[in-house]
Structure 1
Amino acid sequence: MSSDAFIPNRERAAAANADIPVIDISPFFAGGKRTIVDEIARACEEVGFFGIVGHGVHEDTIAAIYREGRAFFDLPRDEKMEIARPAPAVSRGYNSLADQSLGNTLASGVPPDLQESFAIGPLSAGTGPYWTDAHGPIHFHPNMWPRRPPGFRGAVSAYYQSMEALAGRLARMFALALDLPELFFVDKFDRHVSTMRLNFYPAQPVAPLPGQIRAGAHSDYGAFTILRTEAAPGGLQVVRRGGSWIDVPNVPDGFVVNIGDLLMRWTNDRWVSTVHRVINPPDAVRANATRMSVAFFQVPNHDIEVRCFESCTAPSNPPRYAPTTAGAHWRAKIVAARGEPLPPAVARTPVTAA
């Protein structure tokens, strides 16, 4: 079944009716906090997606991960499989082409995605119970590095660190946008289990299966995502309220940020974790068109309880979600992408798109 047939059964999750704004966040650190915070709050409520520039990430860091990432994906499959993902719940190492279906996190029977990927998590871990309990080894599994290219590990690690820093800055903006203390999220992310994934979408010399695309319709599982894209055929789209799709523009020298499930749960749907997908390139260029993106998924400490904020509830608007932990939600979604069913606390009833 095509993932196009499903959108989440929630009133506002497909609210991408407005244009996706691009926000220069540099004034936030030069005394212009209120204006930036208001722009971010509006984007999070109306669309769930926005672009950012003025982010402070050096262009050399971005160029390096694209150079080394493409060199890695150009390696023979057997060599890449030396660091194959070790288990369904562990987001590490290499996922081969058509090895998972993101659409299965919202529906069932969705064809596998036409992408390869490589994932890492935190670059270091502690030794206490938080890191070694039943769930610690899943979230802090050692990263798996290929033998080649020689510059790959350094480039990927440097980019991950730059995303950690940027995510920390964005978390301060999100807190103020929710009328919370600026440092509210600091202790929610001080032992975060964020993952980063390099996505490679190869050319399609053979026509895809019916309903098969580069990444099926899904929402992101964490608190928020920072995505670097490139201007290439077959890109990212978000769903509108009525079920139609709009393109997410590439942001030269910038990133795309989107709200994930956990911030939507925290805010009781005030902010939207909008469904999105990556489509195939047009038939005329399909046989030669490739694409690469880098996604940093900011995920809180795995034991943090995610409960709707009181400020986002009222007698007329009670909590829409039962409390969960960040780790439990993340693990369930990761496993679902590999074909196992979601537990009832995470699954949502799909409805046919208009």
Structure 2
Amino acid sequence: MDIPVVDFAAWSLRNRNISDEPIHTVKEQLESAFTQVGFVFLKNTGITQEEVDRIMAVSKTFFLQPEEVKIPFRRDSFDVNPNHGWVRLEVERLNPSCPEDLKESFNVTSISPDIKWPSGAAEDFQETQTSFFRRCRQLSLRVLRAMALSLSLDPQVFLSAHRLIGDEGNGTTLRSLYYPSVDHDKVKERQLRCGEHSDYGSITLLFSSSGGLQVRRRSGEFIDVPYVPGAVLVNVADLMQRWTADRFVSVVHRVRLPPVGDSSTRQSVVFFVHPDDDALITCCDGSNKYPPVTGGAYLEERFKASYGAK
């Protein structure tokens, strides 16, 4: 299972105005990738490597601070946005049948200036995170438009359900992840840096600093995803598979442990795109393969599985 690389230059963020006309090849490539593999690398998106390096550097500064500095910003500390904030090491388990994941993260679900943000050593944290959030929002809407066109749908089928990204009423999350070095003598049985899972919402954009991600073939075997500098890895998430009545496929993936003796750390930045909380998701082919569900209700159900058994 090779993950295709698609040139997205026709719809790059460098282009202020885009047209649906010149991307017939892109539409065909995306349709093939998302129906057969569930993943695609996009190059020439307009998001630069310098932007990715900057958010990773600022995020790492925050993660390397003492825990007492990070606790005031922990997830569940923000009444209006309960998913916003820091998640400490070994709290989340994306595979509920396995031990907690060996990672920590910071979730940005709101870019409101009213949210409390880290400062001090991470002085540019708010500006960098919110700026990157906006860039990912722009790119994700262009990808959703292209995905709709690849299915011969009116782009508004997807776009109208994502109007509130970055505001209250939408669960889209920019997540900075830090995987510290692993002491294999202390690793629990079946513990991973990130447990086997599929993503929850519409699509996911992934920016990583190295390898380590693995995707599951239909045979059940996990294969390594190559690191492609400068490219964005985009995958279909569960609600999009449901939305397209299984035309697009959401694939299980994980982050493996490094080999014994490898003390390297790992970073990634992920943009999890979700429909608006009140958007009613029904099969876009008109079938009743899945019952209607709102974006907010579906996301809440999935969060309970990941965080409910701490």
**TM-score of the pair, normalised by structure 1:** 0.79
Of 88, 96, 99, which aligns to 2:88? 96
Match of 1:242 in 2: 219
Q: Alpha-carbon deviations, 1:263-317, whole Å to 9, x = none?
A: 10011111111011111001121xx210000010111111111111225x4xxxx
Higher-RCO chain (CA-CA 8 Å, sequence separation at least 6): 1
1:184 Cα shift?
Answer: 3.3
Shift in alpha-carbon separation, 1:43–1:202, aligned structure 2, 3 A: same
Shift in alpha-carbon separation, 1:143–1:294, aligned structure 2, 3 A: farther
Q: Give me the whole-angstrom Cα distance separating, in 2, the residues matched to 1:327 and 1:340.
A: 21
AA matched with 2:200: Y
Match of 2:296 in 1: 327
1:65 Cα shift?
Answer: 0.2
Mapped contact 1:61–1:158 kept (Cα < 8 A): no
Shift in alpha-carbon separation, 1:237–1:144, aligned structure 2, 3 A: farther
Mapped contact 1:96–1:115 kept (Cα < 8 A): yes
Count of aligned pairs between the two proteins: 294
Q: Give me the whole-angstrom Cα distance separating, in 1, the residues matched to 2:75 and 2:181.
A: 23
SS at match of 1:238: strand
AA matched with 1:71: T
Match of 1:52 in 2: 42
Q: Give me the whole-angstrom Cα distance separating, in 1, the residues matched to 2:23 and 2:126.
A: 36
1:340 Cα shift?
Answer: 5.0
Of 98, 121, 142, which aligns to 2:109? 121
Match of 2:29 in 1: 39
Mapped contact 1:80–1:94 kept (Cα < 8 A): yes
CA RMSD across the alignment: 2.0
**Percentage of identical aligned residues:** 33
Match of 2:99 in 1: 111
1:206 Cα shift?
Answer: 4.3
Shift in alpha-carbon separation, 1:333–1:97, aligned structure 2, 3 A: same
1:224 paired to 2:199:
no
Match of 1:20 in 2: 3
Q: Alpha-carbon deviations, 1:227-273, whole Å to 9, x = none?
A: 001125xx111111111001111121111000011110011111111
Q: Give me the whole-angstrom Cα distance separating, in 1, the residues matched to 2:116 and 2:199.
A: 23
1:152 paired to 2:125:
yes
Q: Alpha-carbon deviations, 1:302-336, whole Å to 9, x = none?
A: 1111111225x4xxxxx332211111111111121
1:1-354 equivalences under 5 Å are 18-28=1-11, 29=18, 32-86=22-76, 90-104=82-96, 109-124=97-112, 143-148=115-120, 149-192=122-165, 193=170, 194-207=172-185, 208-232=187-211, 235-285=212-262, 288-310=263-285, 313=287, 319-340=288-309
Q: Give me the whole-angstrom Cα distance separating, in 1, the residues matched to 2:116 and 2:143.
A: 28
AA matched with 1:251: V
Mapped contact 1:306–1:324 kept (Cα < 8 A): yes
**TM-score of the pair, normalised by structure 2:** 0.90
1:143 Cα shift?
Answer: 4.0
Q: Give me the whole-angstrom Cα distance separating, in 2, the residues matched to 1:90 and 1:336.
A: 16
Q: Give me the whole-angstrom Cα distance separating, in 2, the residues matched to 1:85 and 1:171.
A: 28
Mapped contact 2:275–2:295 kept (Cα < 8 A): yes
1:87 Cα shift?
Answer: 6.4
Q: Give me the whole-angstrom Cα distance separating, in 1, the residues matched to 2:115 and 2:27.
A: 35
Q: Where does the alignment leave 5 or more consecutive residues of structure 2 unmatched?
A: 12-17
Q: Where does the alignment leave 5 or more consecutive residues of structure 1 unmatched?
A: 1-17, 126-141, 314-318, 342-354
Q: Give me the whole-angstrom Cα distance separating, in 1, the residues matched to 2:268 and 2:49.
A: 15
AA matched with 1:162: R
Q: Alpha-carbon deviations, 1:61-95, whole Å to 9, x = none?
A: 22210110111111011111121111699211111
